[in-house]
Amino acid sequence: MPWWSWPLIWTGLVLTLIGSLVWFGFRLFRQAMATVAALAELSDRIAAVGQGSGAPQLATFRSAVLQDPGALYAALEFRRIERAQRRQRRRDSLIARGKLLSTRPVTQRTDTDA
């Protein structure tokens, strides 16, 4: 190898390193600026929520110990029935789309002699 090839190789490597550092620095700077912009927007949103600009208020906490047991049981039953109806509606929609008709349930065998 001639003597002048080594300076060319090292010059190319150094220029590639500098170019890579500049490129990654530029990308990092752009990402940092995007992060700062997102944080500024988030702080504006938090300030808007803090001022109460039409945001719905959370319900006040009421301890279940002080409520009527019959009303609590009725609310619990209502939620249970509502969940069952939601599951049934989902099952009906799956059947209507043919999803349950085209797949069979997976069963796991536990008997080693079968």
Q: What is the model's pLDDT at position 82?
A: 96
Q: What is the pLDDT of residue 51?
A: 76
pLDDT in tens, the chain (114 residues): 888 899 999 999 999 999 999 999 999 999 999 999 999 999 988 888 877 655 556 677 778 788 888 999 999 999 999 999 999 999 888 887 876 566 666 666 666 665
Rounded Cα–Cα distance for residues 79 and 83 (Å) = 6
HSE value, Cβ hemisphere, 13 Å, CA-based, for 95: 6
Query: What confidence score (pLDDT) does residue 100 get?
Result: 59
Kindly give the residue spans of alpha helices, DSSP state H, lying in the chain: 5-51, 69-97, 99-102
- What residues does each domain of the chain span? 8-50, 69-102
| Exposed e or buried b per residue across 20-32, where buried means at least 16 C-beta atoms within 10 angstroms of its C-beta | eeeeeeeeeeeee
Pick from 77, 75, 80: nearest CA to 62: 75
pTM of the model: 0.40
Q: 98 and 104 in contact (C-beta within 8 Å)?
A: no
